[in-house]
Amino acid sequence: MTEGAEAQKRTEHTPAVSQPAPGPRRGRTLIAEALSKPEAGTIVLIILVGLGFALLNSHFFTSGNLATLTLDATVVMALAIGQAFVLLTGNIDLSCGSLAAFGGVLVAIIANAGVPWPLALLLACLTTGAAGVINGVITYYARIPSFLATFGMLGVGESLALLLSNATSVQVNNVSFAYLGVSSVGGVPVAFVIVLGIVLVAEMLLRRTVFGFDLYAIGGNQRGAELAGIRVGRVQIGAFAFSGLLAGFGGCITTSQLMAGYPSSGTGDTLFDAIAGAVVGGVSLFGGVGTALGAFLGALLIGTIQDGLNVVAISYSWQPLIIGVVIVIGVTYDVTARRTHIAKRLKAISGLRDRIVSTPGLDPEAGSSVDPIGEVPSATQP
């Protein structure tokens, strides 16, 4: 047989290579992958809530109201992102609201002293970040639960804000400071643009750095992380410091919006909304699960609900009730999903053990299936 005939015969018997999926199918696959992301559910909820309020009042989707919505939500967004970092380690920060008030009063005092407002903002944020470091040190090294440690810092932050301001508002004399909380770029508030940048940086920290990987590891199993050589104390302190830093930034936004530092600005529903935003956005209260983007979207959902209730003229007295129900639903889903995930993992481990037991030559009780020569016996060998 000639070489040409042999080549033709091989071609005839060669199985056809599967062609890549057509465009529409690939598009459906990408959509399915996008919808499988944990943040997709929050985005869908934001859209549905927005459409619901728009049906009740057409003013909801106007450019002016959307600008107001995003501007009002920036403070909770900043605090929710910082809260997410702490929650990822299996802890919680109850002091972020009072630190926001403290930072807002402090930035007003520093700006009135003649310091350029960007530098005043930086100094205020660094100060609240230092308070976050204290939270982390007390939580890890003193072995005090974060709930108690940050609850104590909550009182410290409130007292410092009251002492610095003499229990009254501190008016800001530097008019240019209003740029942060009032100005907009292309109709988008400057503060919101900055928060978007914070989300990007936070996601990079969580996804691209060792610090981010360590956060998830500690939240998943702190003892295991310690045995793996992770410096748990340093990472936890970093998470609390980041939360304190963003709390101070949120307080500075409020001061810039009002052109005055109010010692009670962050002591109302701010903490409540920040935790709600993080939890609704998919950040687990038990640690190890969640993203900064999810916390941002959760805070946006809370802001959308609050703004929509105001647009349709529902009494403010109902807002904590509605947001409380949202938190309960989010926590219930979190607990249920966690139990389901654990059950699936246990089932998978059980199935793997059954396969090992049924495989000839492999005995899990023996501890190892490697022979003295160092070769693993094949399951098909007698």
Distance from C-alpha of 52 to C-alpha of 23, rounded to nearest angstrom: 34
Residue 381 CA to residue 375 CA, distance in Å, equals 13
Calculate ∠ Cα 261-265-268, nearest 5°: 170
Question: Are residues 89 and 215 in contact, defined by beta-carbon separation less than 8 angstroms?
Answer: yes
Report CA dihedral (147, 292, 296, 335) to the nearest 10 degrees.
-60
pLDDT band, residue 340 (cuts 50/70/90): confident
* pLDDT band, very low/low/confident/very high, at 22 (cuts 50, 70, 90): low
Q: Closest by alpha carbon to 83, among 254, 332, 230, 282?
A: 282
Domain ranges of the chain: 40-344
pLDDT digits (tens, 9 = 90+) for 231-256: 999 999 999 999 999 999 999 999 99
pLDDT single digits (tens) 58-109: 889 888 899 889 998 999 999 999 999 999 999 999 999 999 999 999 999 9
**Contact between 103 and 126 (Cβ < 8 Å):** no
How many helices and strands (H and E) does the chain possess?
15, 4
Question: Which 3 state secondary structure label does DSSP give 189?
Answer: strand
pLDDT tens digit sequence for 193-205: 999 999 999 999 9
- Which three-class secondary structure state does DSSP give residue 171? strand
- Determine the average pLDDT of the residues in 46-59: 90
What are the φ/ψ torsions at residue 185 (nearest 5 degrees)? Answer: -120, 110
Alpha-carbon torsion 331, 336, 337, 341, what sign? positive
Element (H, E) at 184: strand 184-185
**Mean pLDDT confidence for 55-60:** 90
- 209 Cβ contact list (under 8 Å, min separation 6): none
Handedness of CA 250, 251, 252, 253 (dihedral sign): positive
CA distance 214 to 226: 10
The whole model's pTM is what? 0.80
- Taking the C-alpha atoms of residue 191 and residue 164, their distance in angstroms, rounded to an integer, is 25
Give the separation between CA 110 and CA 120, rounded to whole angstroms.
Answer: 6
Task: Check residue 320 and give its pLDDT.
Answer: 80
The DSSP secondary structure of 200-221, one letter per residue, reads HHHHHHHHHSHHHHHHHHHHH-
Residue 289 CB contacts under 8 Å (≥ 6 apart), including other chains = 88, 219, 282, 283, 338
Q: Parallel, antiparallel, or unpaired for β 188-189 and 170-171? A: unpaired
**188-189 and 184-185: which strand pairing?**
antiparallel
> At 262, is the secondary structure helix, strand, or coil?
coil
* Segment 263-313, tens digit of pLDDT: 988 777 888 889 989 988 889 888 888 899 999 999 999 999 989 988 888
Assess contact for 211 and 205: CB atoms under 8 A: yes
Instruction: Report the pLDDT value the prediction gives residue 343, as an integer from 0 to 100.
Output: 74
- CATH code of the domain occupying 40-344: 1.10.3470
Cα distances from 236 to residues 264, 288, 314, in angstroms, run 28, 13, 41
Q: To the nearest 5 percent, what fractions of the chain are helix, strand and coil?
A: 75, 0, 25
pLDDT score, position 270: 86
For residue 259, what pLDDT band results from cuts at 50, 70 and 90?
A: very high
Query: Cα–Cα distance between 48 and 185 in angstroms, integer?
Result: 27
Residue 114 gets the label, from left (phi > 0), alpha (psi -120 to 50) or beta, of left
Count CB-CB contacts under 10 A for residue 13: 6
Q: What is the dihedral of CA 43, 48, 52, 53, to 10 degrees?
A: 0
72 CB-contact burial (10 Å; exposed 0-12 / middle 13-18 / buried 19+): middle
